[in-house]
Amino acid sequence: MTLHKLTAHEAHELLIKKEVSSVELIQAVLDRIDAVEGRVKAFVSITRDEALAKAKEVDARIKAGEAIGPLAGVPMVLKDNMCTKGIKTTCSSKILHNFVPPYNATVVEKLAAAGAVVVGKANLDEFAMGSSTENSGFFATRNPWNTEAVPGGSSGGSAASVAAGEAIYSLGSDTGGSIRQPASFCGVVGLKPTYGYVSRYGLIAFASSLDQIGPFTKDVRDSAQVMNVIAGHDPKDSTSAPVEVPDFTKFLTGDIKGLKIGIPKEYFVDGMEPGVEAAVKGAIAKLQELGAVVEECSLPHTEYALPVYYLIAPAEASSNLARYDGVRYGYRHEEAEDIISMYKKTRSEGFGAEVKRRIMLGTYALSSGYYDAYYLKALKVRTLIKDDFDKAFEKFDVLLSPTAPSTAFRFGEKADNPIQMYLSDIFTMSVNLAGIPGISIPCGFSNGMPVGLQLMGKAFDEGTLFRVAHAFEQSSDYHQARANL
C-alpha cells in the first residue's frame, strides 16, 4: 500500500481499523518529501519533529479507544502566510524571513483541535501576489506533472504538495484565484469558500475584502470534510459571518437531476487553449447526462473584472503592507542614516519586484486627487459585477466555466509581461469580487496537463457546489490521475 497516495477519508478508515498508525502515515509522507522535494520545491519549511510528536498523540488516543475525527492523524500542509505559533511564517518574502508568530491563525487552531498533523509550510508568490509561484522571494515551485511548468499561484506550493503526494491535503488562500488556478494546473480539487465563511484571523493580509482561506484536496469528499472543520464564525475576525455550518458531506449524494446550471458566455473567450475548451465542454455534456439542466447565461460586467481587481487589490495591499517598516519585526536594513532612509532601504530590499509594483499601483489609486477616479469607481463597478451574479442565481443553482484559459505554462513564459500573467486569473477573480464560493475540479487533460472545471455558487451555498462537483467526479476518473514524478 502506497500511503502517500491516500485521500484523507481513506487514511481515516485505515487509522480507525488500526491497519496503519498515524506515525506510519506521517513517516510515509516525510519519506515522499525526501524523495521528490528536490524536484518540486513545494516547502518553505518542514516540521518533522512536531509532526511525528503529534502523530504519536493521535496513535495513543486510538489505542485508548477514543473516537477520532476524520482529519486526526492525517498529514497536511499550510500555505506560509498563515500564522503558526513558534514556527516561522514568511509569506515567502525576505522582509519576513525570520518572523516567528506568537500565536496561531484560527484555522490552525481548528485543525489542531481536530487532530490534524502539519508536516510543513508551503511556498507561495511573495505575499500571495502572483499566478505562478515564480514571485516567491526564495525559489520557484515546480508543477509535479511537468517540472518545466509552473504550478500556478499564488498557492503553488500548497497545490503542488498535494499533487506530488507530499501531503494528503493542504490549505491555501485565494484573493483572485490563488486556490482555484493552481488546483487546475496541478490536477487537484481547490475550493474558495464564500467570503466570511472561514476566519481570516492569523492570515497575513494581502487584500482584506478579497482574501479567503480554503482547502486543496485529492477529491471532493476530502474538501467537504476539511470545510467541516475550518468553516464557522470567529469573533476574532470582524468580517467572519455568523452562520451555521452544515455537515458538507451530506451533500455528496451523486444526484443532480433537475439542477439548473448556467454557462456564462463571457467565460468562453477567443484565445482559450483548444484542449481546455474541449475538456470543459465534455464536462458540460456529462453533467447534462446526469440530469442537470444546462443553459447559456450572461454576466455582462465580466470585462471590467480585471481592471476593478487590479485597483482594489493593490489599494488594499498598499494599506496592509505599510506595517512592514523594519521597526517592529522582520527584515531591517542595518546601515541607515536616519529613520526615513531606514524605511526606504528596508522596504526596497525586503520586497520583491511584483510586491513593489502592486504597492505603487495601490498607493497611486488611493492618492489625493485620484481616489474618486480610480478606487471609488472600482468599488462601484464591483457592485455591478456582484449584481450580475445575483441576477444569474435567481435562475440558476450553479454557474460553470473553465478555471483558467490554459493549462500550466512554462517557467519564464509570462514573467516579463505582467498583463499576460494577470490574465491567468481572468475566470476566477470575479468570484472574489462578488464574495461567492468557487471550486475547481479536474475535468480532463490538454497536451498531457490537467484541466480544471470551475463551479460557482450562491453565497454560503457550498453544499450545492459539493453536490455538483461530487456527481461529476463520481462519473469520471480524472481525480484519480496522479502526477508521475
- The pLDDT of residue 336: 80
- The pLDDT of residue 210: 98
- Res. 113 pLDDT band, cuts 50 70 90: very high
* Domain span holding position 104: 3-259+397-480
pLDDT higher than 90, residue 243: yes
- The pLDDT of residue 392: 98
Report, as an integer, the average pLDDT of 291-308.
Answer: 97
Report, as an integer, the average pLDDT of 454-461.
Answer: 98
What's the grid cell of residue 290? 446526469
Is 300 domain-assigned? Answer: no
Candidate from 124-128, 132-136, 245-249, 343-347 with smallest mean pLDDT: 343-347
Q: Is 79 labeled as catalytic in the residue annotation?
A: yes
pLDDT higher than 80, residue 418: no
Is 443 domain-assigned? Answer: yes
What CA–CA distance (Å, rounded) separates 313 from 210? 8
pLDDT higher than 80, residue 389: yes
Is 390 domain-assigned? Answer: no
- Res. 235 pLDDT band, cuts 50 70 90: very high
- Percentage of the chain modeled with pLDDT above 90: 91
- Give Rg (Cα) of the chain: 21
- Percentage of the chain modeled with pLDDT above 70: 100
Question: Which one from 93, 131, 154, 161 is the annotated catalytic residue?
Answer: 154
Averaged pLDDT of the chain? 96
Report, as an integer, the average pLDDT of 425-447.
Answer: 97
What's the grid cell of residue 253? 449524494
- The pLDDT of residue 424: 80
Local structure of residue 480 (DSSP, 8 states)? G
Is 20 domain-assigned? Answer: yes
- The pLDDT of residue 454: 98
- The pLDDT of residue 259: 98
Report, as an integer, the average pLDDT of 235-254.
Answer: 97
Q: What is the CATH number of the domain that holds 112?
A: 3.90.1300.10
What CA–CA distance (Å, rounded) separates 173 from 94? 20
Q: Where are the alpha helices (DSSP H) in 41-93?
A: 48-63
Residue 323 sits at φ, ψ, to 5 deg, of: -70, -15
pLDDT higher than 90, residue 330: no
The total of structural domains in the chain comes to 1
Judge whether 167 and 382 are in contact, CB under 8 Å: no
Question: Which one from 21, 22, 54, 79 is the annotated catalytic residue?
Answer: 79
Q: How does pLDDT run across 151-192, given as a tens digit for each residue?
A: 999 999 999 999 999 999 999 999 999 999 999 999 999 999
- Res. 413 pLDDT band, cuts 50 70 90: confident
- Res. 269 pLDDT band, cuts 50 70 90: confident
CA torsion sign for 359, 363, 366, 370 is: negative
| DSSP string of 38-98, one letter each residue | HHH--EEEE-HHHHHHHHHHHHHHHHTT----TTTT-EEEEETTB-BTTB---TT-GGGTT
Residue 414 sits at φ, ψ, to 5 deg, of: -125, 10
**Which of 425, 414, 411, 484 lies closest to 182 in space, CA to CA?**
425
pLDDT higher than 80, residue 271: yes
- The pLDDT of residue 200: 98
pLDDT higher than 80, residue 416: no
Report, as an integer, the average pLDDT of 366-373.
Answer: 89
Q: Is 154 labeled as catalytic in the residue annotation?
A: yes
Is 179 domain-assigned? Answer: yes
What CA–CA distance (Å, rounded) separates 365 from 316? 10
Residues 6+ apart with CB under 8 A from 238: none
Is 378 domain-assigned? Answer: no
Q: How does pLDDT run across 203-234, given as a tens digit for each residue?
A: 999 999 999 999 999 999 999 999 999 999 99
pLDDT higher than 80, residue 37: yes
pLDDT higher than 90, residue 78: yes
pLDDT higher than 90, residue 423: no
pTM greater than 0.85:
yes
Judge whether 466 and 224 are in contact, CB under 8 Å: yes
Question: Which one from 132, 170, 178, 223 is the annotated catalytic residue?
Answer: 178
- The pLDDT of residue 415: 77
Q: Is 430 labeled as catalytic in the residue annotation?
A: no
Is 40 domain-assigned? Answer: yes
What CA–CA distance (Å, rounded) separates 219 from 62? 25
Is 8 domain-assigned? Answer: yes
**Terminal alpha carbon distance of the chain:** 18
